[in-house]
Amino acid sequence: MNICQAIQCPYFDDGKSYRCTRYLYSHLCHLQHYKVPLSSNGYYLAASLPPQQIQHLKQENNRFFLEDPKYAKDRIFQDVFPDVFDESHFQVKALEQP
């Protein structure tokens, strides 16, 4: 299962590249620090987890990005320059509440 897609990570591009746009390699993802067995194929994190663990990862991911200065800068930049981001450009998504 693609964990990045399952938790609706704001940096996961499920459109064109189907990969993380935040980290060059998915094994560098901040979610690797949690005590959950996640594997990386270089593009996204994968695992076979029960729904409650996926929900927990989503909460941790949201908490991380709410405190992350880069996420805040990316969202502000998109708000200030919306004409730069059309369907052909990746847009950092807003956090979805679990």
Beta-carbon neighbour count of residue 26 at 10 Å?
Answer: 23
**SS3 label, residue 68:** coil
**In 47-61, which positions are buried (b, 16+ CB within 10 angstroms) versus exposed (e)?**
bebeeeebebbbebb
pLDDT tens figures, 8-37: 999 999 877 789 999 999 999 999 988 788
pTM: 0.87
Instruction: Dig out the tokens for 32 from the structure.
Output: 């690797």
% of the chain beyond a pLDDT of 90: 61
Looking only at the bridges linking them, the beta strands covering 12-13 and 45-46 are: unpaired
Which pLDDT value is given to residue 34?
83
**pLDDT for residue 90:** 81
Over range 65-83, report the average pLDDT: 92
The answer to whether the beta carbons of residues 85 and 15 sit under 8 Å apart is no
